[in-house]
Amino acid sequence: MLDIKEYKKISLDFRRVASNFLRTEYTNQDIPLQRFYSYIEKESTIKNIILNKIDGVDYDFHDCFGKDEFGRSYIDIPLDEEKHIKAMYDYLSYIVENNVSLYSLSMDFPCGSKKITDYLQNFIDLAFKPLIDYIQDELSKLMIMVEEEKMGIDMSNNQGVINYAKDNSVIKSDNVINHNTLEEIANVIESIKDTIKNVDIDKDEKDNVLDDIELVQEQLQCSIEKPARLRKAFNNIKSFLTNSALLTGAGITLAENINELVTIVQPFIDKIA
Amino acid sequence: MADIEFKFQIEADDDGYVSYECPFCKSTFSLNASEVQKDDPVYTEMYCPYCGLNDVPTNFYTKEVIEQTQNIAMNYMIDEINKAFKKITKNNNKYVKMTYKPLKNQSIKDLKTKEGTEEIFECKNCSNHVKVDYYLGKTKVYCAFCGIDIC
**CA dist list (Å): A4 to A16, A185, A202, A228, B142:** 18, 34, 42, 17, 15
Distance from CA of A229 to the nearest CA of B (A): 9
Contacts of B47 in chain A (CB under 8 A): 15
Length of chain A in residues, anyone? 273
CB-based contacts of B11: which residues, under 8 Å, 6+ apart? B110, B111, B112, B113
Residue B151 in contact with partner chain A when CB distance is under 8 A: yes
What percent of chain A has pLDDT above 70?
Answer: 88
Candidates B149, B150, B151: best to mutate against A (most CBs of A within 10 A) is B149
Q: What is the pLDDT of residue A249?
A: 78
Q: What is the pLDDT of residue A152?
A: 58
H-only helix segments in A3-101:
4-22, 30-42, 44-54, 81-97
Helix axes A81-97, A30-42, angle to 10 degrees: 120
| pLDDT(A170) > 70 | no
Here the contacts of A217-220 (C-beta below 8 Å, separation 24 or greater) are A217/A185, A217/A186, A217/A189, A220/A157, A220/A177, A220/A182, A220/A185, A220/A265, A220/A268
Average pLDDT in chain A? 83
Distance from CA of A12 to the nearest CA of B (A): 7
Distance from CA of B54 to the nearest CA of A (A): 6
Candidates B44, B45, B53: best to mutate against A (most CBs of A within 10 A) is B53
The whole-number average pLDDT for the span A93-113 is: 91
Q: Which pLDDT tens digits describe chain B residue by residue (151 residues)? A: 678 888 888 888 888 999 999 999 999 999 999 998 887 788 889 999 999 999 999 999 999 999 989 999 999 999 999 999 988 888 888 888 888 899 998 888 888 877 777 788 999 889 999 999 865 445 688 999 999 888 7
Report which of residues B151 and A30 the model is more confident about. Answer: A30
Residue A29 in contact with partner chain B when CB distance is under 8 A: no
> Does B51 contact A133 at a Cβ distance shorter than 8 Å?
yes
Residue A235 in contact with partner chain B when CB distance is under 8 A: no
| pLDDT(A147) > 80 | no
Q: What is the pLDDT of residue A154?
A: 47
Task: Give residue A52's pLDDT band: very low, low, confident or very high (50, 70, 90).
Answer: very high
Chain B 41-80, CB below 8 Å of chain A: which residues?
A: 47, 51-55
| pLDDT(A164) > 50 | no
Choose the weakest-confidence range: A105-119, A171-185, A193-207: A171-185
Contacts of A229 in chain B (CB under 8 A): 151
Choose the weakest-confidence range: A60-74, A244-258, B20-34: A244-258
User: Considering CB atoms only, which of B54, B139, B149 is closest to A19?
Assistant: B54
Q: What is the pLDDT of residue B1?
A: 66
CA distance A214 to A45: 37
E strands in B33-101: 46-47, 54-55
| pLDDT(A29) > 90 | no
> Does A144 contact B149 at a Cβ distance shorter than 8 Å?
no
Choose the weakest-confidence range: A6-20, A96-110, A116-130, A143-157: A143-157
Per-domain residue ranges of chain A: 4-151, 156-272
CA distance B112 to B10: 6
User: Considering CB atoms only, which of A133, A143, A232 is closest to B140?
Assistant: A143
Distance from CA of B86 to the nearest CA of A (A): 36
Choose the weakest-confidence range: A11-20, A48-57, A249-258, B15-24: A249-258
Say if the ipTM goes beyond 0.90: no
> Does A133 contact B151 at a Cβ distance shorter than 8 Å?
no
Q: What is the pLDDT of residue A265?
A: 85
Report which of residues A119 and A149 the model is more confident about. Answer: A119
The whole-number average pLDDT for the span A2-27 is: 91
Burial (0-12, 13-18, 19+ Cβ within 10 Å), B84: exposed
Distance from CA of A21 to the nearest CA of B (A): 11
What dotted CATH number matches A156-272?
Answer: 1.20.1270
E strands in chain A: 65-67, 73-75, 153-156, 161-164, 172-175
Choose the weakest-confidence range: A39-48, A190-199, B13-22, B142-151: A190-199
Task: Give residue A179's pLDDT band: very low, low, confident or very high (50, 70, 90).
Answer: low
Between chain A and chain B, the number of residue pairs with CB atoms below 8 A apart is 39
Contacts of A23 in chain B (CB under 8 A): 55
Q: What is the pLDDT of residue A46?
A: 95
Q: What is the pLDDT of residue A99?
A: 92
User: Considering CB atoms only, which of A8, A15, A144 is closest to B53?
Assistant: A15
The whole-number average pLDDT for the span A22-47 is: 92
